[in-house]
Structure 1
Amino acid sequence: MNPKLPSFLLFHSLKSKLIAGMTLLLVLAFGISSVFLIRQKTDELGADIYHSIRGFSDLTAPQIIDFYEQYLSEESFLYFNREIQSLFTKTQEIEAIGLAEYSGTVLYDSTEEKTRQYDGEVRTIPSGVMRDRIQATYPSYELESGRVVYLKPDDEGYISTVDLYEKTVAPILPSDRIVSVIYPYGARYAVLYSPSYAILDERIQAMWMRMVLLAVAAVLGGLVYAIFFSGNITGPLRKLQAGALVLGQGDFKARVDIKTHDEVESLANTFNKMAEDLERSMQAMAYKERLTKELELAAEIQKELLPKEVPKIPGLDLAAGIIPAAEVGGDLYDFIKLDDENYFGYVGDVTGHGVPAGLVVSIANALIDSYVYLKDPKQILIQANKILKKKTRTNMFITLILWHWNPTTSQLNLVNAGHEVPLKYTANPVKTEELQKGGLALGMIPDITPLMKDQVVELQKGDCIILYTDGIPETWRNEKEQYGMPEFKRVVTQSCDLPSAEAIKVALLADPKQWSQGYEQKDDMTIMVLKKT
């Protein structure tokens, strides 16, 4: 005689069907969605790492060559190593840096020369692909698949992907992992970079863990649901039918297909109706969560790009600050020291909000920093505009005002690219006036050369230049009242006699913030103060 199995273990019982069906559906749903989401996130992070590696190599390769010729070639390894280590602190995507001559002789390897200079036999890179990459004209990227891609720029700055013989090849995809980067410099040297994907791997592993925990919780919830509500009599089934309508806005996503021609089938129909409501609800929740994460990422991008400290510049007292809005905007500012006679700074505002604006801010920061060697503010913005026009969408552009200060001549040069008109405070006699308007926002047209004008501003002790974004005069107290320029200029006149630029900055940001009486603002408030000492 065969032992009788418990009823909940029989597949023709309602309880076993619910348990098996819901478990399978939840596992499949979470599995498919997890793979899709993680793959999408991996591609996004991979693309970010690629652009970070590329930007880092473009910016640092000339510096590393300069460090070598200035220090290492003169047997000053300590100073050379200090500069190299400082570069590592600026990125987490590079784990090793090397330097080789055009002939293939290795001059430096950060993995072997962490604390002391290599003094063994001459290290030589043998003939082959690596030697070809060192002696190539363009930077090359070795991918995990074994493919080597060269980045060839044309006369307009557009980058195309080619092989060693300059034949067009498939571009580097977000899913491709870069094994090494070689950046030839002239026909003398090549800088070698070893990328790191540790951050990417850590984030993906964390996402997998969260997905697994959510899947386990969902499956357990489904099992409890099935066991609790299943039964063998029609009374509980009718109650479950009524309860399913109430739970239509819950956290479960499932479908059942039951053809029993009794009360159970009626329950299945009700459950499927509930599932349709749940699906719409989950889509709305997913969209809201995605939007929230996007704004969080944009805020993080904006925060990381702002300077960590204000530089000390002879003849000028500087201060700058930003009050982020409820919706993350695209405000930016920075200070750049080229050498002891050339200091730069700027304030800008990108159209739009969220991650797109944050990415344009990143590009603009990198471009201006890479072109300051031109020393001419007009040329810096003209060159940056060419790249921004090619690399950004037609509805994305940036207004910006750039200044150049030479301590030797005490001359301040301003160039405005469609940004808010700067204010000048004169200490004697006391007055506040608007400076020159003009220029066109970066990224709108390919060539802004005819529209760019510079303005030389003479400053006496106590005079101030105030740069700001439109978030300050456009501060709202309610749906009808706006702060406005007259009120802002009044506060500038009232505050610029304070003893330091930092105190002036605090006062100029505090006044519109207090005036708004806590009303939610839609744009960032950014300000930069230059006070003549």
Structure 2
Amino acid sequence: MHIYKFSCPYEFIISEHYSMKLGLKSINVKVLLLYLFLAVVNMSFFTMMVYENQIDLITENSKYHVKELTEDLVSSIKKLSADMGKGGILPLKDRDNAVREIAGLIKTKILNKDKTANFIIFNETGTLLYQSRPDFTLSKSDIKNGITAITNLDYSGRPFYSTVDEKSYTISFYIPHKLAFLGDSIMLLKIEVKELKNRLDELYILILVILCCIALFHVVFAVIFNRMFIRPIQSLHGKSLAISRGDLDARAEVQRSDEIGELGNAFNSMADSIREKINSLEFYNQMMEDELDMAGGVQKLIYPALDGDRRFNYAIYHKSLGKVSGDYYDIFNFSDSGIGCLLVDVSGHGVPAALVTMVVKEIFNRDARAHADPADLLRYMNTEILKLLIKDGMLAGIFCTAVYLVIDKNNVLHCCNAGHQQVLIVKPKKMKLSKISASGGPIGISEEMNDFYKSGATRVESGDKIIMFTDGIIEPMNHKGDQFGIEGLQASIRKSYMAPGKTIVQTIIDDLTAHIETEELKDDATIFLIEVK
């Protein structure tokens, strides 16, 4: 019989996914990764928005400032053109003077206010008319942009065309002139906007400071979130693992009144309930253990003390799987007419099987004398057990196998088998080991079995040994799954043909123990040996 024990420390199997881990399976790591992702997205989005807005604002502000200067310059050039061009196209010498006048005007309007400005005056063919510095040259893209400026002036009336070089923080203005004394010409004015660079540097510093503040906010928020939510969940997880390992005193520390606090209170209530039920189970289990100890002690009283007599010696090995057994052996002395030996193996284990052995003993002791033929006794026993145990469904499904033999005063052995292992007989004088043939079905299944119980007979002589055994002797397996088997039993018997019965039984047990090694018996095991003197 299997008893489930609840004694501390409690041993429970903890599956892997409940164990505390530092990895992607940890809720702490999952929340951290999710929060880091959201924080990076938040900070990136904020940086992009601030940068784009500030860049646009700074650039437009700088362009507007330069545009004012340029428009003032354009207005002044037009006025100068009107004053100088009253006489038509100027001679070449006078045109050079006019260009110098325009250059002086540019210096007055622009260069005196912004020392970083440089300019070139050129015509649409790319010929230089004037340059503020010898190293300030004209590129192909400048000529192309100048032609674009003339086109814009002709078709849309825009007074200039501008481009921005964000790498060098320079704004280029292409101002077309239609001066009567010069013809079509373009002034390229490049102004290095230092203010734009300085404002961008300030913007980068501002963004860095803001990002640090946002990062600090996220860290503080993460710490608060961890304390408010993650740590209580981890604490509950740890306490649940402690309970699963058998620490029934583990309790959640609850100091809050929200849902997590309610969860902690529910956990503690569950732990108290488990503790109460475990204590109750331990109490009832101990009561059951005590009662089984008592039942085992009572059952031992029904087994006879077999010390031998003037005709026979007996050797017994009996080991129950639990505290009570479903194997039962007994002997009935017919005075001068012989003896009757019975071995019964009840199906199952524990208390139900032990109760059936009590019934069997009662029938055997009461009615053995009235049924001298073994087959007749087994038929009667089958009928009585069916009446007592199957009536009203009591212990339904339990049956037993049995072997009963009678050795009369003339040493004739009469045997009947009720679905049990065949009886072995050892004849040392002939060095022979054989089986006693006898047939019949298990007891307690059906009254129809009564038609199949037949007795067989054989003569025994001095020194012969009759061996009865239950399947708990031949069915045990080793770690490879190999049974001891009837072959192992017969091999053990052949080792000690001439030895006394008790030596044969001990040899069988030693060989069985060596075969199963560290494995345990899974059934009640009994050997009943009768030796003829």
TM-score range, shorter chain: 0.3 to 0.5
Relative to its length, the structure with more helix (as a share) is 2
Normalising by the residue count of structure 1, what TM-score does the alignment of the two structures yield? 0.48
Normalising by the residue count of structure 2, what TM-score does the alignment of the two structures yield? 0.48
Structure with larger Rg: 2
